[in-house]
């Protein structure tokens, strides 16, 4: 992954909205995330179009199924030419290994396989709910560290976690293991459904590799200006 990207979550209803959002960014190469809403509506053309426009694509479908199904699904996704994909670590080691097997089998010749990161505990999850709803009795941090270790043992490239656990993961698993962090807010705006939240400055100081930002940029009155402000906060003095 290139130098600490800010990944814009394109959480839009369809490609018309995506094209309208991207138009004022013409000439800039962004790192964008395609999630379930957009992919389920528009399908593979989403990825082809974004690649044609020169953007890097995080295809975030959070696969979680039996190993054979995930292996075959990843084979299809690798063929689209995306750069980064996700699975749920809760699917287990065999499923994560199968995901990598599928990605390696499906990658078009001449391209490198997409990076694959595992979602640990969603940033919308609070410790109390994890304990009552998932019946996990360790702390939320311990649960995230456990999933991150499992993802590393399985050969994955990193994890999706909140900023609250990222530095512990980097300490335990090394700086080469990616930490991709949503739940980022400037501090002033509504957290919406996010619970484990941090500012871009905090994320930078914690050594996080990539942040994912959706609504604060895509719903901003002036998204280009908002992106510039966010990039300055995320990159700090180097921007």
Ligand X SMILES: O=C(O)c1cc(=O)[nH]c(=O)n1[C@@H]1O[C@H](COP(=O)(O)O)[C@@H](O)[C@H]1O
Point out the residues that are catalytic.
Answer: 60, 62, 65
Q: Which listed residue (1, 34, 50, 86) binds ligand X by CB under 6 A?
A: 86
CA dihedral 61, 66, 69, 73 (to 10 degrees): 20
Q: Is 122 among the annotated ligand-binding positions?
A: no
Least Cβ distance, residue 94 to ligand X (angstroms): 21
Pairing of strands 56-63, 6-9: unpaired
Contact flag: residue 11 with ligand X (CB under 6 A) = yes
What angle, 0 to 180 degrees and rounded to 10, lies between the N-to-C axes of helices 93-106 and 67-78? 30
Q: Is 64 among the annotated ligand-binding positions?
A: yes
Least Cβ distance, residue 221 to ligand X (angstroms): 16
Question: Contact letters (x/-) for ligand X, 21-60, by CB under 6 A?
Answer: --------------x------------------------x
Site for ligand X in 123-142 (CB under 6 A): 123
Helix or strand holding residue 45 (H, E): helix 45-52
Give the whole-angstrom CA distance, residue 86 versus residue 119.
7
Least Cβ distance, residue 182 to ligand X (angstroms): 3
Structure tokens at 87: 């699975």
Q: Is 103 among the annotated ligand-binding positions?
A: no
Query: Which of 172, 64, 72, 57 has its CA nearest to residue 118?
Result: 64
Q: Which listed residue (102, 106, 114, 182) binds ligand X by CB under 6 A?
A: 182
Q: How many residues does the chain have?
A: 239
Query: Which of 126, 120, 26, 38 has its CA nearest to residue 82?
Result: 38
- Which residue ranges make up the annotated binding site for substrate? 11, 33, 60-69, 123, 185, 194, 214-215
Residues that bind ligand X (CB under 6 A): 9, 11, 35, 60, 62, 86, 119, 122-123, 160, 182-183, 192, 194, 212-216
């Amino acid at each position: 992954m290139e130098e600490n990207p800010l990944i814009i979550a394109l959480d839009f209803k369809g490609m018309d909205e995506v094209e309208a959002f991207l138009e004022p960014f013409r000439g800039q190469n962004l790192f964008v995330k395609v999630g379930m809403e957009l992919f389920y509506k528009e399908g593979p053309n989403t990825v082809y179009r974004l690649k044609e426009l020169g953007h890097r694509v995080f295809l975030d479908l959070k696969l979680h199924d039996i190993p054979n199904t995930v292996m075959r699904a990843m084979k299809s996704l690798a063929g689209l030419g995306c750069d980064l994909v996700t699975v749920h670590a809760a699917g287990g080691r065999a499923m994560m290994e199968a995901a990598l097997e599928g990605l390696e089998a499906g990658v078009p010749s001449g391209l490198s396989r997409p990076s694959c990161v595992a979602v640990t505990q969603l940033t919308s999850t609070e410790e109390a709910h994890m304990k009552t709803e998932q019946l996990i009795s360790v702390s939320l941090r311990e649960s995230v560290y456990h999933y991150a270790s499992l993802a590393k043992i399985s050969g994955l490239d990193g994890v999706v976690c909140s900023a609250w656990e990222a530095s512990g993961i980097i300490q335990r698993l090394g700086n080469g293991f990616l930490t991709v962090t949503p739940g980022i807010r400037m501090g002033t705006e509504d957290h919406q459904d996010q619970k484990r939240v941090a500012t871009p400055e905090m994320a930078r100081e914690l050594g996080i590799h990539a942040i994912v930002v959706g609504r604060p940029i895509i719903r901003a009155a002036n998204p280009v200006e908002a992106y510039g402000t966010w990039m300055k906060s995320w990159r700090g003095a180097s921007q």
